Structure formats: C-alpha cells, structure tokens
Amino acid sequence: MNQTAIEDAKPIERNNSDDPLNDPNYKTVGEVTVPNAAMTTKNVDVYYGDKQAIYNVSLDVGKNEVLAMIGPSGCGKSTFLRCLNRMNDTIDICRIEGDIRLDGEDIYSRNMDVVLLRARVGMVFQKPNPFPKSVYDNVAYGVNLHGLSRSKSDLDDIVEDALKRAGLWDEVSDRLNQPGTGLSGGQQQRLCIARAIAISPEIILMDEPCSALDPIATAKIEELIDELSKHYSICIVTHSMQQAARVSQRTAYFHLGKLIEVGATDIIFTNPSHRLTEGYITGRFG
C-alpha cells in the first residue's frame, strides 16, 4: 500500500471538542477519572419526560477532594448532583441511565437502601432547611433514624462533635433546646451541615449552599468546606467562579447538559482548553 492509500484508510477523526452542542456523545476534555475515587459516574444520561437534561456525563469524585461544578444556569448542575444520592427519584418524570457507583457499589441497584445511601451521600441545599425541631434534635435526627448511638451520653457526644465540626458549637451550645429555625441564615446552613455530618457521610453534596447567605456567612461556610474536606469528599455546585476557585481542587464545567471540561481548578480558571469553558470564565456568557 502506498502512503496515500494508508491515509485514505484512516478513520476520519472527529473533532468532538469543537461541536459539543451537536454531539450527544460529546467526550469531555480533561481527565474525568481519578485514581482514588469515592464515587464514579459513567455515561450518565438524564431525561425529564422526553427532554434530555444530561448527555453522556462521566465524572469521578475523589476521596477528600472538593469538586466544584460550574456552568450557566440551566446547564444541568443540580440535575447531575441529584443523581449522586438519588434525589431525582423524588421527581416522577425523571429517568436516569448510566452507571453510578459509591465505593464500587451500584447506587441504582435494586438492593440499594436509598435512605442509607442518602446518609452516606449527604446533601446541603441552597436554602437552609432545618427541621422544625430544636438545634439538638436537628443534629440527632439522622443519628436516631439510623440507630447510630449507643446511649444518651453517646448521642450527646455525637451532636456536640458534629456541631463543633460544623463550626457552630460555640454559637449554640447554650441554646441546644431552642428551635433550629430561630438561628440566622448562616447558622442554619451550618446546622444543616452538622445534621449531614453527624451520620458520618462519605460524600457531601452542596447545591449553591451560600447563595442565600451574606458575605460573612459565606466566608464561614467556605472555611468550613476546606476543613471538612479533610474527612469527606465534597461536591459543590456554585454560580460563583470566585467561590469555586477558593474552595475546590477540581472544577467541572457544564454547558447545556454536557460536561465540557474538567481539570485542576487553577488550570480551568487560568488556562482552560475548551473555548466554551474560556467563554464562561471570561464572562462572555453565563
């Protein structure tokens, strides 16, 4: 065969990264896997009725890493995040395809106990949502539900430890019996974080956890995220690029349901590879 024939025989290389928006099997730029994954997701598609919201997303969450998910409003960040602890199960028309594993275990398998899954993969929402119970009972709730304490004094220790880890103990130790809903917004959000960590999760999902908070309360949560990542993996959706840059080690950029690019946060924000990522971080759209 002469040279021309060899070249003719080569498959046409598709430059997927150039037209992600037209390609339902778009392949993310960057390394989607990590060596030490707490959770793995492969080829995830999500539909609401017949409308597809997530296209072929594969992305691992590393142990003890803070992974930020960014992208324009409506690009599927919350949808993807909710796949990770089956929160989408609560939406009737939502259908998920693909493979999602926690420590190697298929979280969508029939044997998976969803209540237990949501303890292992905790979630903190945009708007703080303490139960209409005392500060103490908010934190003790999941511990009791899962039978994780041996005695009342053991439970007291777990509650105190969770509130300390959430950076809230000093502010509430003298009002444990007062309603959690009476705390300030920032305190309520830290109470929700205490509630999640009291049951020793492996991963904490946070969906724009600071967007209802003032800058001081936001700074406290950001400090806390850094501290928490010593013990847990954290996946945080944020519309603030500054926040993603401050708190995360890896950043994933979503656009119209596709994971366009993922990489080390400092690289994504200074030298992204994909033109869509660059367009977003330089403020051309979003």
Chain positions contacting ligand ADP, by CB under 6 A = 48, 53, 71, 73-79, 91
Binding string to Mg ion for residues 36 to 75, with x set by CB under 5 A, is what? ----------------------------------------
User: From CA 219, how far away is CA 234, in angstroms rounded?
Assistant: 17
- 125 contact, one of ligand ADP, Mg ion, none, CB 5-8 Å limit per kind: none
Burial of residue 202 (CB within 10 Å: 0-12, 13-18, 19+) is: middle
Query: CB–CB of 138/130 below 8 Å?
Result: yes
Nearer residue to Mg ion within complex by CB, 168 or 259: 259
**Distance, C-alpha 159 to centroid of its chain:** 24
Nearer residue to Mg ion within complex by CB, 78 or 265: 78
Least distance from ligand ADP to the Cβ atom of residue 40, Å: 20
Tally the C-alpha atoms within 13 A of residue 21's C-alpha that lie toward its C-beta: 6
**Interaction between residue 238 and Mg ion (CB under 5 A):** no
Nearer residue to ligand ADP within complex by CB, 70 or 176: 70
- 22 contact, one of Mg ion, ligand ADP, none, CB 5-8 Å limit per kind: none
**Interaction between residue 78 and Mg ion (CB under 5 A):** yes
Tally the C-alpha atoms within 13 A of residue 207's C-alpha that lie toward its C-beta: 20
Query: CB–CB of 78/257 below 8 Å?
Result: no
Q: Which residues bind Mg ion (CB under 5 A)?
A: 78
